[in-house]
Structure 1
Amino acid sequence: MKLRTYIIEDNATIRENLIGTLEELADVQTVGSAETEEEGTTWLTAHASQWDLAIVDLFLRQGSGLGVLAACAGRSSQQKLVVLSNYATPDVRVRCAQLGVDAVFDKSNEIDALVDFCIVHGTRRASAGAPSAAP
């Protein structure tokens, strides 16, 4: 069972590299992507049952990832919301935590931690969805 992931990142090179890395290493299925706050917010809220993980950059072509995070505040507890940013400062991490983000990763040195997060969340999701064996 693949982890259905939506990516909000305005840099096409970073987005494509991220998709390739996650699909290869973490059993992720990318269900879509956006470059702006409006595109991301609209898709995530209109397709609330079609994603398990959203990866959000804070600085977008139009708008801010913070607006996306706020729009996802009412998501299911099973859905994970993470930030992947070049600006993962302590202040940004605190603000993201206030908005209910599950994790914040720095693009420059925490990609491995993001991959690990995806693997763990995908494994937990698969275990929760697997039928239990009869005693």
Structure 2
Amino acid sequence: MERSVFLVEDNQRIRQHLSSALEELISAQVAGTAESEAEACEWLASHPAQWQLAVVDLFLKQGSGLGVLAFCARRASSQRVVMLTNFATADTRARCRQLGADAIFDKSTELDDFFRYCADRTA
């Protein structure tokens, strides 16, 4: 069974690598992508039931992943939102949790944990 993922990442190279890895490692289908907060919120608003997992970067071309997290507060209880960032400080983690992130991972040190989480939560 394919899992539907929405990917919010402004770096095209990282977005492509994540998309490929998600498809290969957890049999996910990337249903949509966004590079900015506004683009992400627009996609989420027009596709409310077409994703199981949203993977969000903190720093975007415009706006912030924090705004995307806040927007996702209205999601279905079965949908998960994960922050994947290079800036996973204690303060960032606390703020992301406060805004409703289900998990926060550091891109540079916690990718294995991230993929394990994605596989477990979207099975």
TM-score by length of structure 2 reads 0.97
Give the AA of the match of 2:64.
Answer: S
Deviation at 1:2, TM superposition (A): 1.2
Structure 1 runs (4+) greater than 6 angstroms displaced: none
Q: Distance in 1 between matches of 2:107 and 2:47?
A: 27
User: What is the deviation of 1:84?
Assistant: 0.4
Matched letter for residue 6 of structure 1: F
Q: How far does residue 122 in structure 1 lie from its aligned partner after superposition?
A: 2.0
Contact residue 22 and residue 115 of structure 1 kept, 8 A? yes
Partner residue, 1:71: 71
How far apart are 1:99 and its partner, in Å?
Answer: 0.5
Structure 1, unpaired ranges of 5+:
124-135
Q: Secondary structure at the match of 1:70?
A: helix
The answer to whether the 8 A contact 1:45-1:72 is kept is: no
Trace 1:1-135 onto structure 2 (pairs within 5 A): 1-123=1-123
The answer on whether the counterparts of 1:7 and 1:32 sit within 8 Å (CA) in structure 2 is yes
Distance 1:67 1:122 in 2: 23
State how many pairs are aligned. 123
Q: Equivalents in 1 of 2:43, 2:101: separation in Å?
A: 18
Contact 1:27-1:122 within 8 A present in 2 as well: no
SS at match of 1:109: coil
* TM-score, reference length from structure 1: 0.89
Shift of 1:22: 1.1
For residues 11 and 73 of structure 1, the distance between their equivalents in structure 2, rounded to whole angstroms, comes to 25
Aligned-residue RMSD, C-alpha: 0.7
